[in-house]
Structure 1
Amino acid sequence: MFRIGEFSRIARVSGRLLRYYDSIGLLSPGRVDSVTGYRYYTADQLAVLNRILALKDLGLSLDEVAQLLKGMVSADEIRGMLTLKKVELERSLSEGQSRLRNIESRLLQIEEQGGMQDYEVIVKSAVAQPYLALRRTFPSFMEVVQTVGAIAQRVGPRLPESAKDNLVVVAHSDFDEEALDLEIGYALKHGDVTPPNIPGFDLALRALPAAPSLATLVRRGPGHQSHIAYGALGLWMSANQYRIDGPSREVLLELPFQRPGQEEMVMEVQFPVTKAA
């Protein structure tokens, strides 16, 4: 048996916590010396303590932990619960990192006071093009990024180089982080292409309509900073008395996700415009 100090070193918890668990009847010592009052723990109690700590890390209250222990939760059940919690924490961490990047890029935009940076806005026209794409309403921007990456990696290589043009994202709705109505796919140099049968990708031959007048600019940088370019283009349209006249487009001039950890992309932001009255 181990005295409480020895057991605390083995279990990597404080003696104070062990005494507290004893006081509430959650984990009592294997034996208490009637003369000295010293608490002694057995090696078998380490498994019980680990169950308590694991269940507590799942967010359960100590009362809930006690009830589960009375029902003798198996190691497999706890392992399954911990696995689910791990997935939840990883998702939360990823979302937190995404929010942090967004905050940093918004701060950058504020520091630039919404200026044009080195952007050069070009007004041009575009002819109609065949378009092999899928259209979905995405519940989060993260899913959009994942889908763009999947199409670049799984669809692009299945298309003949003689027909494939740039990867294009078309926004059919106002920006809503929880309901993004987007078309994502490849513009084509000609329409004589059979859509590849790829599970999970409901690809269809569509059309990118002609645009008599597009206000465009090219940006290089991380995807989460794209709003800076959009803001700059909005300032330019306002200053030059243009109004938006259709769904915006992002044309990926250099594909993202081509190497591990790659965040930078080169894209052209396009807004169909017409002169304001």
Structure 2
Amino acid sequence: MYKVSEFSAMTGLSRDTLRYYDEIKLLEPARIDPSNGYRYYDNGSYVLAVLLVKLRSLGFTIQEMVSVMNDESFANLESLLLQKRARIQSQIDGLQAKMKDIDEFLASGRENDS
């Protein structure tokens, strides 16, 4: 079992984030000591925390992470990842179009200077 401070250091999740994840039932401690209220996490909690950190780094919202954790099926995670990937590709396409517009605008300005 790991104390909150140890678990925070292991996962990179702040104490506040761990408290919040516990409040919203996203990542609950494995055990809470009834005498002092201290929260303890185990190796299973660690695996879930690593998954949550990865999902956040991929831009998942809290609601999407809750959906993944509640569903627990790879099909749901795969679907969300494919949607996220499609959105990112769309953003890339939009940015590339803007870069092309900038290049064309700069080129037309150079032609007018000649």
**1:186-235: CA deviation from partner (whole Å, max 9, x where unpaired):** xxxxxxxxxxxxxxxxxxxxxxxxxxxxxxxxxxxxx55312223336xx
Match in the other structure for 2:14: 14
Match in the other structure for 1:38: 38
For residues 80 and 70 of structure 1, the distance between their equivalents in structure 2, rounded to whole angstroms, comes to 15
State how 1:258-269 maps to structure 2 within 5 Å: none
For structure 1, list consecutive stretches of 5 or more residues without a partner in the other structure.
103-140, 142-176, 178-222, 234-277
For residues 8 and 24 of structure 1, the distance between their equivalents in structure 2, rounded to whole angstroms, comes to 18
For residues 49 and 73 of structure 2, the distance between their equivalents in structure 1, rounded to whole angstroms, comes to 13
CA 1:25 to 1:77, structure 2 compared with 1: closer, same or farther past 3 Å? closer
State how 1:102-117 maps to structure 2 within 5 Å: none
1:60 aligns with 2:44: no
CA 1:77 to 1:71, structure 2 compared with 1: closer, same or farther past 3 Å? closer
For residues 49 and 32 of structure 2, the distance between their equivalents in structure 1, rounded to whole angstroms, comes to 18
CA 1:228 to 1:49, structure 2 compared with 1: closer, same or farther past 3 Å? same
Q: Which amino acid aligns with 2:67?
A: Q
For structure 2, list consecutive stretches of 5 or more residues without a partner in the other structure.
none
CA 1:7 to 1:18, structure 2 compared with 1: closer, same or farther past 3 Å? same
For residues 89 and 2 of structure 2, the distance between their equivalents in structure 1, rounded to whole angstroms, comes to 37
Percent identity over paired residues: 23
Q: Give the conservation status (yes or no) of the 8 Å contact 2:68–2:77.
A: no
| RMSD (Å), alpha carbons | 3.3
Greater per-residue helix proportion: 2
Q: Secondary structure at the match of 2:5?
A: helix
**Cα deviation, residue 77, structure 1:** 5.9
State how 1:121-160 maps to structure 2 within 5 Å: 141=100
Aligned residues, how many? Answer: 111
Q: Which amino acid aligns with 2:111?
A: Y
Q: Give the conservation status (yes or no) of the 8 Å contact 2:8–2:14.
A: yes
**Cα deviation, residue 49, structure 1:** 2.1
What TM-score do you get using the length of structure 2 for normalisation? Answer: 0.68
Q: Which amino acid aligns with 1:34?
A: P
For residues 25 and 39 of structure 1, the distance between their equivalents in structure 2, rounded to whole angstroms, comes to 14
1:2 aligns with 2:6: no
Rg (Cα) greater in structure:
1
**Cα deviation, residue 21, structure 1:** 0.8
Greater per-residue strand proportion: 1
**Cα deviation, residue 71, structure 1:** 1.4
Q: Give the conservation status (yes or no) of the 8 Å contact 1:3–1:40.
A: yes
